[in-house]
Structure formats: structure tokens, C-alpha cells
Chains A and B, each alone.
Chain A
Amino acid sequence: MEELKECLIAVQTCSEVLEVMEADFVGLAIQNEVGPDVRWHCAAGNITDKYKRITVRYGKGIAGRVISSGSPMMITSFPENILGKSTDYPIMLAEKLVSSFAVPLFFNGIPKGVLLVGHRNGIHKFSDEEQQHIKKYALLLEEAIKSHIHL
């Protein structure tokens, strides 16, 4: 897979989502071409570059779980009321997020990516409208980066 940080449209979309959703962090994770691991490729609003080094296993972390289940995932008040330990959510720790909503990106009908939108301050429950908005951006991203994804 080509480096998505060099894919201008992916970076621009992340920045647009950050602005439109008034979020603190937006990240795009894609499953590696070889092996099941999932890596964060680009982000907007990040406070560190830790996301570049984070790789989660298929089924682990938010990105791994969203890809393995093919369903969205919402966290409203991290680290409270979470499944497992706080260390199972490295991107929430790295970016000091308190709430997040992550949706899968499908390529040829297979979940291979994740778009995550997060907030750092206070409990935030993503409304139905916000969720739909993020899903629409996920569809836009699928279309924009599908030529970079080799299945």
C-alpha cells in the first residue's frame, strides 16, 4: 500500500472532518497489506506523533475491533465503562481522548479501514446526526483512497 500520508485527499478529509465536526482528533487507520495488523496512517488535531508508531492487531484496540466486527464503535467517557483495560485502547491514551466514534471503511465489501473522530474534553455522546455525518465522510474516504488499497 502506498503511504496514505502522501495521499493529499485523505489528509484533507481528516482536517475537514476535524473542522466540521468540531472535534479534537481525527485519525485514519488501514489494515496492512501483508498480515492482519492495523496501522494509523494519517491524522488531524494530533498532539503527538505516537499514532505513527502504533500498530494494533486485528481484533485489538479500537481500530482492530472495528475492522474485525465491521461495525462502528463509540466510547463516551474513557476510561470509564470500557470493555477490558485502558491499555487496550492505545490511541485514546496516546491522544488523551475521552470520547470517540469510529466507523469501518469497506473496500470490495471487506472492512479494511477505520475513521475515528475523538474529543478530549468531557463526556461526549455522539448524536445520531453526528454519527451519520461521520459515516458519510467514511464513504467519501472509501471512494477517495480505494486506488491506494490493494486487496
Chain B
Amino acid sequence: MRNPMGLLPEKQEISSYIIQSQEEEIKRIALELHEGVGQSLYSMFTGLQFIEAGVEQPHLKSYIKEMSQIMEKTIQEIRLLSVELHPPTLTTLGLLPAIKSYVKLYTSTFGIEVDIKSIGEERSINESSSIAIFRVCQEALSNIAKYADISIVKMTFIWSEQSLQINIQDYGRGFEINEIQSFGIAAMKERMFLTGGDCVVSSKIGEGTSIEISLPLKVEEEQRGVNIDQNSAS
């Protein structure tokens, strides 16, 4: 079976491997920034505060204070960069809280409000699928900020035993799907395909765009069951 990008099975595996490696590398850098660089800078920050308290010359004291303020700002930047690269809430609290947290940042960045609705009981999703959905939603929202020319987006999560359906709807400018070649949309479809899900984009000029993301949850549970079996066997 060919995937949405028309790739042959071996190319699909390569594509899956590239996406997975990229995500692992992003996560590694995010962790290294947070746990490594961030912690070292924090040690330097407390050291500077200690020096500042001990120094008596006013000009040196104010210089050290300035340096420690810059250090504090840098630590904050490192933390934010780390969270932007790989949101820790995705693994700790789950997909919906991670999306809600990202949406807050999105609204304060682009001034576009996102109305999120969640219907049904939220279910746990494995990490790779959560990341795939999160990245697809990020790409969709980013495209809306770039092209849709609207102030409000609607996002609906529908949870059932069998599946998770997400609809991202904007009533903006819209576009002619057959007339554009978007690698962003192709990558969204590819990511969902690789998780066993689907991503369908429909749009009409002047009426807006709708993105339907779906993930079968039964497969998820079965996969998890296989993993548990494999782990207990090893």
C-alpha cells in the first residue's frame, strides 16, 4: 500500500525513521538544554549572587548585579527554548494539556484566539502518536497564522473508545488545494499515516479550511499490549 505521499513501503520506513530520529534528537537537545546547560547556568547565577553579596565596592557591585540579571534572563530563555522544542507536558500530563499550553503561547504570539472543545473522556496515547498529533496541530496552527487571515480558530477533540478525532476549523481566506504544493500539508499527512491515523485537509476560497485528524485508539492499545508482552518476554 502506498502512503499519502505515494512512497513505496521501504521509502515509508526511511521516512518513518527520519521523523523518529528527528524527534528523538529534538527531545535530546531539549533535555540537554534544560537539565545540562540550564542547571550549569543556574549554578553560575547563584555564584554571582553570592559574590555580589560579598563585594563592597559600589561600581563592582552594580556590575555584578547587571551580570546576574543577564544570567537570569538567559536561564529563562533556555527554559522557554527547551519547552518550545519538546513540551514536557506531552509526556507528563498528556496530549490535551500540552495542546492547551501550546495554544496559550500561540495566542500571545500571533494574537489569534483558539477555542478548544473536548468531547468524551480523554484517553492515554503512546508518546510517538502524541508527538505526531502535537506536531500536526502545531503545523496547522502555524499555517493559519501565516495564511488564514482570521482572529479565531476552533479546535474540537472527540474521544471515543475506538478513536480520537480532532477538527481544526478556521473561517478564513481558504485556498484551492489542487493548486498549491505544500510540503507542510504533505508532512502532516505523512506523520498521521505513520501512526496509523489519517489527516484530511479541505478548503474553499473565501470560506475557510478544515483539518480532520484521526487516530484509531484500538490499534494503540493493541500495540501497547504487544509492547508489554515483548517486555515481559525479554
- Are A and B interaction partners? yes
List the interface of chain A (C-beta within 8 A of B): 36, 48-59, 86-87, 90, 93-94, 96
Given contacts A50-B111, A51-B111, A52-B111, 11 further A-B contacts (CB under 8 A): A36-B76, A48-B111, A48-B151, A49-B151, A54-B109, A56-B109, A86-B146, A87-B142, A87-B145, A87-B146, A93-B145
Asked if B109 and A50 sit within 8 Å, CB to CB, the answer is: no
Asked if B149 and A53 sit within 8 Å, CB to CB, the answer is: no
Contacts of A58 in B (CB 8 A): 73
Whole-angstrom distance between the Cβ of A65 and the nearest chain B Cβ: 14
Contacts of B142 in A (CB 8 A): 87
* Nearest A residue to B108, CB-CB: A55
Selected from A53, A59, A86, the residue in CB contact (under 8 A) with B111 is A53
List the interface of chain B (C-beta within 8 A of A): 73, 76-77, 80, 107-113, 142, 145-146, 149, 151
Q: How long is the Cα–Cα vector from A94 to B112 in the complex, in angstroms?
A: 9
Contacts of B151 in A (CB 8 A): 48-50
Q: How long is the Cα–Cα vector from A49 to B80 in the complex, in angstroms?
A: 26
> Which 4 A-B residue pairs are closest in the complex by CB-CB distance?
A50-B111, A53-B111, A54-B111, A55-B108
Asked if B146 and A93 sit within 8 Å, CB to CB, the answer is: yes
Contacts of A94 in B (CB 8 A): 110-111
Contacts of A53 in B (CB 8 A): 107-108, 111-113
Contacts of A49 in B (CB 8 A): 111, 151
Asked if A93 and B108 sit within 8 Å, CB to CB, the answer is: no
Whole-angstrom distance between the Cβ of A98 and the nearest chain B Cβ: 14
Whole-angstrom distance between the Cβ of A59 and the nearest chain B Cβ: 8
Contacts of A96 in B (CB 8 A): 149
Q: How long is the Cα–Cα vector from A140 to B73 in the complex, in angstroms?
A: 30
Asked if A90 and B73 sit within 8 Å, CB to CB, the answer is: no
